[in-house]
Structure 1
Amino acid sequence: MLVQIKENHCKDLYAIFSSDENAKHITNKVHSNIHDTRKWFEKIDKQMTEGEAFYWGIYCKTDDALIGFIALHKIDKRTKSARIAYVLNRKYWGQGIMPKMLQALLNYLALQRDFKRLEATIKVSNLGSIRCIEKAGFKLKTILYDYQSDTKTDENHVRYFFVYDLSSSDNE
């Protein structure tokens, strides 16, 4: 289930961001303590308040925990496009959770008609994420050989660049 991320989710988010395994696949640095996660939350909370980004938490009822999130950031209102990002606690990988959550978000966004195009940049080594984004209907457009992340913590500068056209029915 997708929920609004709130400050009380920081403990669950710390479990994600403190994982070396998760850090291999995202551009954030590993959080060494809960304070790092709270600072990250303050940053995204400000972005959400200002309409610069949207973050949805993935909530697991069984475990009563936030186990991941999906975000839209780098929003361009002129072109009605945004970059999508997502992460899932390593404990829940391989269970089909993220493709379902991505599809739920894509269905919601198609109804809202606020966006025409979503983009995703994925490390070439992140095979699970590549399969996930392709299952959701994203199409590989190009390879970015000199990609620079916002956080400057990522030394791998090669990314696959995927696109999802919300104004088309060709995504299936």
Structure 2
Amino acid sequence: MLEVNFSPFPTLVTERLVLREMTMNDADEAFFLRSDAEVIKYVDRAPAQSIDEAKAFIQMVDDNRQNNTGISWTITLKGDDKMIGNVALWRLDKANYRAEIGYVLHPEHQGKGIMLEATQAILHYGFYELQLHSVEANINPGNMASQRLLERAGFVKEALFKENYYYDGKFLDSVIYSLLTPKK
């Protein structure tokens, strides 16, 4: 069975980014990312209504890390500690060496390759530090930008689940992408 320990927090640095631990200092930015209609267009959950909801999210992220059930990184630009997004490995399935990836990015920073850079960094961490065998992504079929990101990162579309998700009074479809440990 997969054994993980996210303490101390693994800060990751790329060419343009610092992926660091999320803190309560990120509450304003987290609130924006969890409440902005454009950002959550394909997230299929109700938008955050208050800063307290953002703080509860940050606490949940920290609880998951402390319990070693998932890890979420705050995305920042080098030289600027302001949160512009987050990327996570969560829903750890330790028995099967598998995790799900999730991500969100401020609209001002979309289309610049930032999420691909962040995704590649956490995938490297997941495969080579955590020893994951596979990473899954579960996305809304209408989210073409997410599909392109996943394909650029090497993910393969595995399934379309019809009406497997109930949100806002209707059943929605899900597309599943997966990436196996790269062969050496």
The answer to whether the 8 Å contact 1:27/1:154 transfers is: no
Alpha-carbon distance change, 124 to 33 in structure 1, aligned in 2, over 3 angstroms: same
Aligned to 2:39, what secondary structure does the other structure show?
A: helix
CA distance 1:42–1:5, change in 2 (3 Å): same
Match of 1:37 in 2: 54
- Cα distance between partner residues in 1 of 2:36 and 2:22: 19
The alpha carbon displacement at 1:26 in A equals: 1.3
Question: Is 1:66 paired with 2:80?
Answer: no
Cα offset, 1:29, TM superposition: 2.0
- TM-score, normalisation: structure 2: 0.83
CA contact under 8 A between 1:123 and 1:159: conserved in structure 2? yes
Given that 1:20 and 1:30 are in contact with CA atoms closer than 8 Å, whether structure 2 keeps it comes out as yes
Instruction: Output the CA distance in 2 between the equivalents of 1:4 and 1:15.
Output: 18
- Identify the residue that residue 108 of structure 1 maps to in structure 2: 125
Query: Larger strand proportion, structure 1 or 2?
Result: 2
> What is the CA deviation profile of residues 106-153 of structure 1, one whole-angstrom value per residue up to 9, with x for unaligned ones?
12222214211100011111111110011000000110113337xx55
SS in structure 2 of the partner of residue 131 of structure 1: helix
Q: 4, 13, 34: which one pairs with 1:17?
A: 34
Say how many residue pairs are matched.
167
Aligned-residue identity in percent = 25
Match of 2:68 among 29, 33, 51: 51
- Select 2:176's aligned residue among 140, 152, 161: 161
Map residues 125-144 of structure 1 onto 2, 5 A cutoff.
125-144=142-161
Equivalent pair of 2:160/2:174 in contact (CA under 8 Å): yes
TM-fit CA distance, 1:36: 1.3
RMSD between aligned alpha carbons?
A: 1.9
* Structure 1 length-normalised TM: 0.88
Gapped regions of structure 1 (runs ≥ 5): none
Tell me, yes or no, if the aligned pair for 1:16 and 1:90 is still in contact at 8 Å.
no
